[in-house]
Amino acid sequence: MSKQQRPAQPGGARGWRALVKPYAVGAISRFWLSWYRLKYGKRVYFGANFITNGKLVVKGPGKVIFGDDVNAWCNAEKNVLITYRPEARIIIGDEVRLNGAGIMAHTTIEIGARSNVGSVIMLDSDFHPLDPRLRRDPSAPFASAPVIVGRNVWVGGQTALLKGVTVGENSVIGFRAVVTNSVPANTVVAGNPARVVKRLD
């Protein structure tokens, strides 16, 4: 009997992959989680059931906190989380999905539970003063304000959330949007600068 004539096996290769995948993901995540705990120590807290394929970079003296059931498995870009002061905090809520996020905190950046976060850049400061005479002076003060993302928010790819922004729950940040002002709950925003383009029921 030729290959084409053979009856399909129940489930087939896809069925086996579906059965094996959760165990493989769990084993890979446990390996990387053990490595991260050794590498980062008490600066980084991982909640239960953290998922990763090793594409996670954490830098800086501040604290990074991951809630329970966080999925940080990346398809392409790494998740890079950087704190710039010992007092800085990056807080990732329960059941958040991170896929290629770049998060840089001088003060606080917080992502609410059940949010989906793509290849965003989140910055809570300007990093340099606006005054051209002071931009290269590392001791010069610059503006900084927390970034807060509410529950169940979808942050699209290649977006930017800038200092002082609060995003209301259930909202959507459209592809390549640049968010400079706070976003109301239950809205879709898009553009540069981002504006409300739709309201959600």
Task: Please give the positions annotated as active site.
Answer: 128
DSSP string, 93-144: -TT-EESS-EEEESSEEEE-TT-EE-S-EEESB-SS-SSTTTTT-TTS---B
At residue 200, what is the residue type? L
139 near 160, Cβ under 8 Å? no
CB proximity list for 67: less than 8 A, separation 6 or greater = 47, 91, 92, 93, 94, 95, 96, 113
- What whole-number distance in Å separates Cα of residue 45 and Cα of residue 5? 55
At residue 24, what is the residue type? A
3-state secondary structure of 164: coil
178 Cα distance to chain centroid: 16
